[in-house]
Amino acid sequence: MSIPASSRQSAPASVPRLSPRARRTLSSLGWGVLSIGLFAGIWEALWALGLVNPLLLPPPHMFLSDLGRTLTFFDHEARRIGSQGSGGAIAGLLTTIGWTSFRVIVGLGLGFVAGVGVGAMIHYVRLFRNLVQPLILLLAPISPVAWLPVAIFVFGVGDVPAIFLVFITVFFMIVLATVSQISSVPKNYLHVARIMGATERQTFWRVILPAILPSLFMTLRLNLFAAWMVVLIAESVGVGIGLGQITSMARATFNAKLVFFTMVIIGVLGFSFDWALRKVQQKMLWWIQPGQGGI
Amino acid sequence: MARPALSLRNVGKVWSPEGRQTVEALRDFSLDVEPGEFVVFLGPSGCGKSTLLYMIAGLEETTSGVIEQDGMVVTEPSAERGLIFQDASLFPWLTIADNVAFGLSVQGVLPQKRKEQAESILRSVGLSDMLDKKPDELSGGMRQRAACARALAMRPKVLMMDEPFAALDVQTRAKMQDFLLQIWQDSKASIILVTHSIDEAVSLADRVVVFTARPGRVKTIVPIDLPRPRMSRDPRYHEYRDMFADLLADEVDRAFAEQEAR
Ligand SMILES: Nc1ncnc2c1ncn2[C@@H]1O[C@H](COP(=O)(O)OP(=O)(O)OP(=O)(O)O)[C@@H](O)[C@H]1O
Ligand SMILES: [Mg+2]
């Protein structure tokens, strides 16, 4: 993985006079490559010195070089038929990644929207608040993983329990953040809205929501990694195609190469998701300076 | 004389915050503000000036007494009585132009029309280059001007300002006072300005209302009988200044004495 990154870095280095921004990007890229390279290097060195067992901890060059074979495990057609797949392997990998990402995205999206909705209801509707808030406070601290059996009892085996777990991971956090943020919207913003004659509805959509969105997004991002963890756990108990299911199969068959390869994929995906969410955040919350408000 | 733009009769306010002692902020406060008049509220800290503005705006209820605007009892906020805060309170998620057009958009004015109106108002306050800027890209003085523009867009009859220039440096303040006189003359609105600055009061006001220490009452109302533009070199300017300094010192002493006694 470090190889394409370093070659990318050397190309713009020949261009004289970079903008400060480009230089910053390059430098952080450089440190990233160095950091990962160092880690991989030590691992390789330990292997070369015979200090780690390549069957249990195969160094990067081993689990990355044997790609052709490793990828076949992602090729569902091939696996089902029992022959060595050809060409379908990459497609298989992408399908697997796609399914896992799909569950994360749908779960996050639903959890965010439902969380904001329920949070707003708690704020505005007294009866709802009295009825629901205690329940939310009670359920929020329960680890999402503890919901797994419930999810499977209720939804059976399939996509839904995995999506449900991701949903649960963000939902309660967003509800709590929404409730607390709504009550800390600056009073003067609300005063301006009232003086201008805004209705409750207009005030919510045009003042309260934009005012609380930055911290809700922050909450979402903080819970992104947790969402990734639960989706893998949910997949490992048999949802069908997915990265979690590959890891659990790899563990069951003592396939260390496959384990590490999948770990790399999961790491890269988690990183990309965080990056993408940050970009969405910058687009949607255009009024917040980078570096401010956690962007 | 014509009907006053604003009429306060025996207005009182007792704050009773949950779980804390009640505070009588204002007592038996009566005042008429004429159409197009420039009134300044001057008084020691905590005497209920902001409280009174909030009640005139309709954001808070009076505990006793009545507030009327153009003969109608004030029961809820209205864009006819604009209020400008010390921190400008522009929405950071809207451009300056959209901030100014906020009230128009809430009231259903079509996008093209409100864009034109916002632009023309921003031009009149000298911010035509700032249409697409974010509020936090503006200086403090510009933000206050944008906040004025936002209130003016609603064509208010009464424009209230709660220490709008307190956070600005001296030079900017002087500029903002000129600016304020300009928009006052253009808009023909009545203005109520709360300030701690005696100079600001003397250089701007038609009448200065001096508050007593809490509970705030009308201590005196002083018409400033100086032609505009007012010069701080004018000896009469100094007389007014000294007079207000004495009046205020009295009340500040009383406020302190009361605090000690408690
Ligand atoms: N929302 C509120 N709830 C309870 N008490 C309040 C509230 N707002 C103001 N008060 C109290 O009312 C009194 C008058 O406050 P107010 O802010 O009107 O004074 P002020 O004249 O504007 O003072 P300053 O010059 O410092 O701004 C104060 O004792 C204050 O603590
Ligand atoms: Mg005040």
Residue A288: DSSP 8-state: S
Residue nearest to atom 31 of ligand 1 (CA): B46
Q: Which residue has the tokens 């943020």?
A: A181
Are residue B200 and residue B70 in the same domain, yes or no?
A: yes
Indicate whether B67 and B139 sit together in one domain. Answer: no
Is the peptide bond between B229 and the residue preceding it cis, with omega within 30 degrees of 0? yes
Query: For residue A110, is pLDDT > 70?
Result: yes
- Using DSSP, state whether A186 is helix, strand or coil: coil
- Whether residues A197 and B77 touch (CB distance < 8 A) is answered with yes
Is B239 domain-assigned?
Answer: yes
Cα–Cα distance measured from residue A164 to residue A104, given in angstroms and rounded to the nearest whole number: 10
Residue B229: phi, psi to the nearest 5?
A: -70, 145
How do the domains of chain A map onto residue ranges? 104-284
Same domain, B141 and B161: no
Asked, for residue B1, whether it belongs to a domain, the answer is: no
| pLDDT reading at B80 higher than 50 | yes
Nearest CA in chain B to A202: B106
Do A1 and A64 form a contact (C-beta atoms < 8 A)?
A: yes
> Which segments of chain A does DSSP mark as H helices, in order?
2-13, 20-48, 60-65, 67-72, 76-81, 88-124, 126-139, 148-155, 159-182, 187-195, 200-203, 209-222, 224-236, 243-252, 256-284
Residue of chain B nearest A208, judged by CA positions: B91
Min Cα distance B232 → chain A (Å) is 35
* B166 domain-assigned: yes
Please tell me the distance from the alpha carbon of residue A24 to that of residue B259, in angstroms, as a whole number: 57
Residues B169 and B189 in one domain: yes
* Rounded alpha-carbon distances, angstroms, from residue A95 to A15, A88, A99, A269, B107: 38, 10, 6, 14, 50
Give a yes or no: residue B69 inside a domain. Answer: yes
Q: Please name which ligand lies nearest the alpha carbon of B23.
A: 1
The two structure tokens encoding residue B80 = 């006819």
The residue ranking higher by pLDDT, A19 or B69, is B69
- Across the interface, of A191, A197, A288, the residue whose CB is closest to B83 is A191
Angle at A231 between CA A230 and CA A236, to 5 degrees: 95
Q: Round to the nearest angstrom and report the end-to-end CA distance of chain B.
A: 46
| Residue B215 located in a structural domain | yes
Of A231, A268, A227, nearest in space to A246 by CA: A231
- For ligand 1, say whether the CB of B25 is within 6 Å of any of its atoms: yes
Identify whether residues B257 and B207 lie together within a single domain.
yes
Instruction: Determine contact: B57 vs chain A, CB below 8 A.
Output: yes
Q: What is the ipTM of this complex?
A: 0.92
**Ligand 1, closest atom to CA B13?**
12
Among A273, A247, A259, smallest CA distance to A107 is for A273
- Compute the average pLDDT of residues B32-53: 94
Q: What is the pLDDT of residues A232-274, one digit of tens each?
A: 888 887 666 788 888 888 888 888 888 888 888 899 999 999 9
State how far the Cα of A227 lies from the Cα of A105, in Å rounded to an integer: 10
Inter-helix orientation angle A159-182/A224-236, to 10°: 160
Within a domain: B117? yes
Q: Are residues B169 and B251 both part of a single domain?
A: yes
Query: What does pTM read for this prediction?
Result: 0.84
| Chain A residues bordering chain B (beta-carbon distance below 8 Å) | 186, 188-189, 191-198, 202, 206-207, 210-211, 213, 285, 287-289
Whether a cis peptide bond, with omega within 30° of 0, leads into A54 is no
Give the residue from B134, B154, B174 where a domain finishes: B154
Chain A residues close to B89, C-beta within 8 Å: 186, 188-189, 191-192
- Pairing, β B6-15 against β B81-84: unpaired
- In a shared domain, residues B149 and B234: no
Structural domain harbouring B111: 91-154
Residues B173 and B240 in one domain: yes
Name the domain count of chain B. Answer: 2
Q: Which residue minimizes the CA distance to atom 28 of ligand 1?
A: B46
For residue B216, is pLDDT > 80?
yes
Which CATH architecture does the domain made up of A104-284 adopt?
Answer: Orthogonal Bundle (1.10)
CA-nearest residue, atom 26 of ligand 1: B45
Residue B86, in any domain of the structure: no
| pLDDT-based confidence at residue A109 (cuts at 50, 70, 90) | very high
Which atom of ligand 1 is closest in space to residue B211's alpha carbon? 21
> Do B71 and B104 have their domain in common?
no
Q: Residue A217: name the closest of A139, A142, A279, A141 by CA.
A: A279
* Any domain includes B85: no
Res A83 pLDDT > 50: no
B23 CB less than 6 Å from ligand 1?
yes
Look at residue A59 in the predicted model and tell me its pLDDT: 87
Q: Across residues A33-52, what is the average pLDDT?
A: 90
For ligand 1, atom 16, the nearest C-alpha belongs to B48
Let me know whether B140 and B175 are in one domain: no
Read off the pLDDT band of A292 (50, 70, 90): low
